[in-house]
Amino acid sequence: MCEFCHKHGEGQRWYLRAENYSEDLLGDLRRRRFIQSFFSSPQHLIEGEGKLGRLNQLPSFVRSVVTPIAVNRQKKSHYGQVVPIEEVERIFAFVNSVVRLPCICRQATVGSEQRYCYGVSMVAQEESQLARMVREIDASYLTGPDTAGLEALSKQEALASLRDLEKNGLCHTVWTLVTPFIGGICNCDRSDCMAMRATIAMGFPAMFRAEYAAEVNPELCNGCRQCMRACQFGAMGYSIAHEKVAIDPRRCYGCGICRAGCTKNAIFLAERSSGPLAQGVW
């Protein structure tokens, strides 16, 4: 289990614990201020990425001291974890409302509204404090089908939409808004999602890997390499000698997206803790 499961999971996966989505946590004034500031403008994300770029230009010994401090600070405010679609289904089994809203990352990177974020709540959407808070923020980038920029979806609609995003190669992630409160599920890609850019390209982990790692069944794999196009983490390799694909468990984030393109059902997710090379790699 990841560090957050130990700290915030009470013996279970932290993102499967209903308390971490509860309205009670939104009573905390510091959290409310953080959320209002976070959604007010994408500018702080652009500035944050600029800071990471400058951090990467520092001598390596300085980076090795500063980076863990900055990551620890990030873990307290806004941190994520990759979740395969089966875990999203388990989250949807106990939350009571889902709203889709524009992704603030994409507003920063692409400069337009892209509806990739799904706010989840333990209460009905109309009663959700988070939805109310986002509605109240005077954020010009929050446009969309209604003036508040939020779309209420049934859980079935939301799941269908997330499955479509998965077919397009997007990786599901859960996110805190002042940890351990979980505000929602996003759908990430390495070109437009700032957290993925930070994690993969800039060496600044902004999310944990999933509690799983993928494996290929060589008996079923025909070496077509369709799956390799989906992996955003560079975890798959093709063996010319064996004419099969293999997954490096030390690089795999356990998103499960590679399975969508495999017509042979040759890829499966295994518990990260059961793999000698994957366990302990977060």
Q: Which residues bind ligand SF4 (CB under 6 A)?
A: 214, 216, 221-227, 230-231, 233, 235-236, 245, 247, 252-258, 261-262, 264, 266-267
Helical residues (DSSP H) of 11-167, grouped into ranges: 29-40, 43-56, 60-77, 85-94, 104-109, 129-136, 155-167
Smallest gap from residue 257 Cβ to ligand SF4 (A): 4
Residue 278 CB, shortest distance to ligand SF4, in Å, is 10
Cis peptide before 180 (omega within 30 of 0): yes
Supply the minimum distance, in Å, between the C-beta of residue 233 and ligand SF4: 4
Nearer to ligand SF4, 149 or 275 (CB): 275
Helix (H) or strand (E) holding 196: helix 194-196
CB of 265 to ligand SF4, least distance (A): 8
Rg (C-alpha) for the chain, rounded Å, is 19
* Closer Cβ to ligand SF4, 192 or 211, answer by number: 211
Q: Which is nearer to ligand SF4, 145 or 234 (CB)?
A: 234
3-state SS class at 110? coil
CB 231 within 8 A of CB 237: no
- Residue number with CB closer to ligand SF4 (150 or 245): 245
How far apart are CB 172 and ligand SF4 at their closest, in Å? Answer: 11
Rounded Cα–Cα distance for residues 61 and 30 (Å):
33
Dihedral sign for Cα atoms in the order 81, 1, 252, 55? positive
What letter represents residue 227's amino acid? C
